[in-house]
Amino acid sequence: MRMREKIILRVVSKAFIPFIFLFALYIQFHGDFGPGGGFQAGVVFAAGIILYGVIFGLDTMRLAVPERLMEYGIVLGLILYGGVGIVSLISGANFLDYDVLNAHDPTHGQHLGILLVELGVGITVTCAMTTIFYALAGRGEK
């Protein structure tokens, strides 16, 4: 039986995927206050994308989330992560020393630094996991 014929799975997954993404965003932006963060959020977000691909097909997934976008996302996440460290170095501090991100209030600098680094990690992990899925799922097509 093909996945297209499994209407219950298609309807239920279509209803749950937005909540998976919402939960990933919660993990991402709550990560600096409690358990969670960029890696966990990235994996959950990628799981939602991969679920979409498994249920609706690889071609539909490629239309919704192009492979090229995932490749650019990996680079963007790495630049965001590394950029925070470079700004710290340019400011005369150690790599990823967040205090220099806000000279007037180092606590806000810490918060901003953690937020940006975790966002970079989340973007990178999401895009890397999705790219791995593309590579493995599409290997029989060539």
Cβ-based burial of 103 (10 A; exposed 0-12, middle 13-18, buried ≥19): exposed
Q: Which of 31-35, 45-49, 108-112 shows the lowest per-residue confidence on average (mean pLDDT)?
A: 31-35
Whose tokens are 């919704």? That residue is 64
For the chain, the structural domain boundaries read: 3-137
Alpha carbons 55 and 14: distance in angstroms, whole number? 9
pLDDT band at 17; cut points 50, 70, 90: very high
Please say whether the dihedral angle defined by the alpha carbons of residues 82, 83, 88 and 89, taken in this order, is positive or negative: positive
Please say whether the dihedral angle defined by the alpha carbons of residues 41, 47, 50 and 56, taken in this order, is positive or negative: negative
pLDDT of residue 58: 92
pLDDT of residue 141: 60
Comparing CA positions, the residue from 77, 75, 16, 9 lying closest to residue 49 is: 16
Percent of the chain with pLDDT strictly greater than 70: 93
Q: Which of 40-44, 56-60, 67-71, 101-105 shows the lowest per-residue confidence on average (mean pLDDT)?
A: 101-105
Alpha carbons 20 and 5: distance in angstroms, whole number? 23
